Amino acid sequence: MLSLSTIALWYKYNYEEYEEIRWITIPKTLNVSIGIVSVLQAGSTRAKYKTAMDSMECYALRQNYTYIVVNGTDYKEECPQEDITFQRHCIVAQLLNVTTLDWILFVDSDIGVVNEKVRLENVLDSSMDIIFYDRMFNHEIMAGQNKCTAKPTGC
């Protein structure tokens, strides 16, 4: 019924009067392997960010992405930066070197998924190596989320 390039999302609405089930198909537009990475800083646990990280893991599973959670202390030798803000960028670069991923979306551990229907392939630009975004309320270039490619000029 569904091809490998199509993801089916199942929604079930159960009301007193009736029950409705509908399938929504979302085509995969690019043939790239994508990972989502969250880096926990020393002394932090996944339990602290459970809701956000569970939503990210569920999204990754639905979209057939790889979800990777690492602890910054595990990379102290390769990435000796004292500030987690800089260390996590180094960790993402390390992961791109040791995985077969084409792109990595780095997200802070407290970022959750709002719309699971949006595919990352739809916002990737193959002519770019690193993609940042502006916060909509103050136009700050956000360091807590970015996309990096595995190209030599990427992360």
25-77 pLDDT, tens digit each:
444 556 788 999 999 988 888 999 999 999 999 999 999 999 999 999 999 99
pLDDT tens string 7-17: 333 333 333 44
* pLDDT at 13 (0 to 100): 39
Q: How far is CA 82 from CA 46, 112, 120, in A?
A: 21, 26, 31
pLDDT score for 148: 57
Confidence (pLDDT) at 23: 42
- Tens of pLDDT along 73-124? 999 999 999 888 889 889 988 998 888 888 888 888 988 898 888 898 887 7
Instruction: Count Cβ atoms within 10 A of the Cβ of residue 96 and give its class: 0-12 exposed, 13-18 middle, 19 or more buried.
Output: buried
Q: Report the alpha-carbon distance of residue 155 to residue 92 in Å, rounded.
A: 7
Which one is predicted more confidently, 64 or 2? 64
Length of the chain as a residue count:
155
Q: What is the pTM of this model?
A: 0.70
Looking up tokens 């969250």 gives: 38
pLDDT at residue 29, rounded to an integer: 55
The domain covering 29-149 belongs, at the CATH homologous superfamily level, to Spore Coat Polysaccharide Biosynthesis Protein SpsA; Chain A (3.90.550.10)
